[in-house]
Structure 1
């Protein structure tokens, strides 16, 4: 989401004189308090079943080789208390992305027992109060849930002399979450339970990395399933650096879907059949656009004109504009250009959303209407729920997405030492090949211009991933498909069926 706005939102909840934090974010080892735990019992009606569950909102301390606390990881766990076979009940570890985001989005929007409601029609949430309800889409009928806030997010923080940057990185982050999971399994007697990972956005990068961190080596933890929601696995599919045409191919079908939604694609050419249209967009990206981009300046003018006209039918921009862009339609420019004459921009996380900029001549949108259109409701919901209902009484603020972890993130995963894009899909493929029961679910929104569905498909169709054990599910919404009520239910049903199929 947008760093500055969310940081501003969180400033409302920051109180002066934080007794348990020093000015530089560190605590003296002698002053580290005991980890706090907040426990309560509840029930939730899901269909014809009433689930009785225990909520444990708690700090888990990670420790170094000297047994000194290095970090506090805050989590909220929901455990069914009515089952007679708790040790064999599935448990799902859930997190969001960023990197640097807390888990409130999946927690309060998708799978937790409480849900904040947002308009399904991609209009903004407006001002408080916002509507909270028991979540009919919660997964508590099929799995226990543990929502994890990585270090630097939520209430999680480094301790003692440890700096936050020691946890900020592809490997560093995955190692700390893997250690948290090991501790949680031990403390709760759940080593033999079926285990699932569920991540959204960068959380899918984390999930793939965790597959390697958890299953690799002789102290491995076998996984039953990995749930990838709005996935980004190979960052070459989403980085618009000069010379990288992969990203243009990955985003093309989502740009086409966006144009279709806003009535700018040539629907008559496809007889108003979206399924055929979107499959043709995929094929066009690989079979026509890719060879054209590879040819570069050697592409003939006649071919360039033809391709620009064909692309225009898909993505709704004029052939002249497409030719001026050298057939490379950056999604940020696309978001500004598609509805420019109507006076709107379209959203990044969900291109169904429309925004109004202060003027219409800019190259890219001023902001993301699919971010500011809903984030304040989630920030209010998580703070209200934790403090009022669960009685969590920390004085430090709950950090949604401050930008601090992301700005210090160590993106290096290359053992050979040469520059490369982050690609964790090979770790997921290795995990599937070494564990013949490991299955993967990919959930993608058609209108996600942050982590496009075709980029995720491209990543999973290579890198050693076992496609026979990958389930592909799609939604008529964007990055956070659960913002739309019908798609939130579909996501819940798809994940529930996925977990049940593994039992």
Structure 2
């Protein structure tokens, strides 16, 4: 999640510097340059890794009692492939490694390493070698994976009311009847610098906080995990949410000689030019407005803000999708050459699909960014509409502002997830004593994200023009492994990564037409985190389980 101006976590997707290369984040104040104070003490030596914790438990899924073993622990990876080959799982230099040891008195000069925290759940009495294993992670970039861990498919989940801000603690941590342990072992991974994961060494932030650097770290983690637990011959899956979806694209291409059985992409964005959070800083690239329009329509439908309420949501959205990429996109591409009569006609049609006043739409030049829509849809009630899940709403912080100042959905659920992960880790998994669980890396004054990216066979990251786009990476993986399947999932009420954006990206992958049949689409009446809605979670489980069962044998 991203941290908002008021210091609370406000989003699972933080895309920074979409065009100019500076990291700002959605709803986040731009970071100032780090100030180095004279006399700053040298970096402390890398502490010994805490011992892994192994516990046992059980969960009932579909009437089946599943006994499992949970491992909460860490694996250490290097910042480069050469360095990574010289260190053990615990981060210590291997005895036969031919490397120059750093000066013991200058630990800050040691090569950068990341101690990556994970929680793995293994079904007992299963043929482990051939049992599927799924690697799950949230996004940010800079978010821990407590959201997926405590909300989706782990054996425990935090139960919170759907589309409401409940009272404070105690929160209910319950057995998860929708756990995915019925079909796959699970590995929840906290990104470097989040959760219980930590980074060390020289230029550690540059080594791990960036599009390519992050994917390389996850690649090395997965290889080490497969080696430690003898899972090289297991069916393998990636499951990323939000920024975890571009991570999955890059990671899949990085995993050379590791054929994945499948990739599950939840709340996708692969090309940041498609983000509706910042298109005003990207003038002339108008497709983000069109791709967000169906989500605007779904949101207005939900809150009964349309001038005429349609009978059903999905047929209505199909109509909006067609108009968005047709007449609306054509009008936007004309810019100032759009005739005035046509401009009035488009504004009237937009009013019918969004509920926003025609006069406002004309002043906005027919272009409404995500934060603007969140603020304007219910402004007559001094109410801000949710961003991650537009079914949520809350009081305006500033009735006179043009954009939303916070995300009511984030405010409604963040405390519950933070409390749940800390309580669960310490009491049930017996891990984390005297450690701080970081929901995100955003509080670190050194945190910034390098969005530069080198696509497979493409120009170097320093020569790349335009916004970050990892569609070539996913396309490269699909062509190299034409039996691999991709499942795309999303919520109709997601304003952070609108569902139609993901669909658009998939239909523009640089792959042969026949490989399009390897992609399946699943959409739900929920937001960015579809699992917040318990009924949707059950259906989501059924869909993901069916996807894994149909692909684990390479069908």
Shorter-chain TM-score above 0.5? yes
* Of 103, 114, 124, the match for 1:71: 114
1:14 is aligned to none
Identify, as 1 or 2, the structure richer in helix.
1
Displacement of 1:161 in angstroms is: 3.9
Q: Which moved more, 1:235-244 or 1:65-74?
A: 65-74
* Of 311, 314, 327, the match for 1:275: 314
1:487 is aligned to 536
Asked whether the equivalents of residues 156 and 176 of structure 2 are also in contact (C-alpha less than 8 Å), the reply is: yes
1:176 is aligned to 217
Alignment partners' CA distance in 2, 1:388 and 1:184: 25
Alignment partners' CA distance in 1, 2:41 and 2:528: 34
1:16 is aligned to none
Structure 2: stretches of 5+ with no match in the other structure: 10-39, 92-112
Distance 1:25 1:264, change over 3 A: farther
Displacement of 1:62 in angstroms is: 1.2
Asked whether the equivalents of residues 205 and 447 of structure 2 are also in contact (C-alpha less than 8 Å), the reply is: no
Alignment partners' CA distance in 2, 1:24 and 1:223: 45
2:504 is aligned to 458
SS at the partner of 1:111? Answer: coil
Superimposed CA distance per residue, residues 288-311 of structure 1 (whole angstroms, 9 cap, x where no aligned partner)? 111101111111111001110011
* Aligned residues between the structures: 480
Superimposed CA distance per residue, residues 229-276 of structure 1 (whole angstroms, 9 cap, x where no aligned partner)? 1111111100412222121111111111111111112445x5x13222
Superimposed CA distance per residue, residues 4-45 of structure 1 (whole angstroms, 9 cap, x where no aligned partner)? 589668xxxxxxxxxxxxx989542xx531452111111111
Work out whether 1:287 is the aligned partner of 2:326: yes
SS at the partner of 1:140? Answer: helix
Alignment partners' CA distance in 1, 2:417 and 2:230: 32
Work out whether 1:87 is the aligned partner of 2:126: no
TM-score normalised per structure 2: 0.83
Work out whether 1:389 is the aligned partner of 2:389: no
Q: Which moved more, 1:148-157 or 1:360-369?
A: 360-369
Alignment partners' CA distance in 2, 1:502 and 1:280: 33
Work out whether 1:109 is the aligned partner of 2:190: no
2:109 is aligned to none
Asked whether the equivalents of residues 267 and 273 of structure 1 are also in contact (C-alpha less than 8 Å), the reply is: no
Distance 1:493 1:24, change over 3 A: farther
Following superposition of structure 1 onto structure 2, how do residues 405-416 of structure 1 map, counting pairs within 5 Å?
407-414=447-454, 415-416=459-460
Following superposition of structure 1 onto structure 2, how do residues 424-439 of structure 1 map, counting pairs within 5 Å?
424-439=470-485
Displacement of 1:333 in angstroms is: 1.0
Distance 1:6 1:180, change over 3 A: farther
Alignment partners' CA distance in 1, 2:42 and 2:137: 23
SS at the partner of 2:233? Answer: coil
1:53 is aligned to 68
Alignment partners' CA distance in 2, 1:494 and 1:248: 30
Structure 1: stretches of 5+ with no match in the other structure: 10-22
2:104 is aligned to none
Please tell me the root mean square deviation across aligned C-alpha atoms, in Å. 1.9
SS at the partner of 1:373? Answer: helix
Displacement of 1:183 in angstroms is: 0.2
Q: Which moved more, 1:461-470 or 1:434-443?
A: 461-470
Distance 1:235 1:143, change over 3 A: same
Following superposition of structure 1 onto structure 2, how do residues 13-28 of structure 1 map, counting pairs within 5 Å?
26-28=43-45
Asked whether the equivalents of residues 38 and 391 of structure 1 are also in contact (C-alpha less than 8 Å), the reply is: yes
Work out whether 1:147 is the aligned partner of 2:162: no
Displacement of 1:393 in angstroms is: 3.2
* Of 112, 118, 138, the match for 2:160: 118
Work out whether 1:41 is the aligned partner of 2:90: no
2:34 is aligned to none
1:353 is aligned to 392
Following superposition of structure 1 onto structure 2, how do residues 253-402 of structure 1 map, counting pairs within 5 Å?
253-268=294-309, 270=310, 272-402=311-441
Displacement of 1:190 in angstroms is: 0.5
1:12 is aligned to none
2:106 is aligned to none
Displacement of 1:496 in angstroms is: 0.8
Distance 1:342 1:101, change over 3 A: same
SS at the partner of 1:223? Answer: coil
Distance 1:222 1:334, change over 3 A: same
Alignment partners' CA distance in 2, 1:264 and 1:6: 29
Superimposed CA distance per residue, residues 413-449 of structure 1 (whole angstroms, 9 cap, x where no aligned partner)? 1425042111112211121122122111111100000
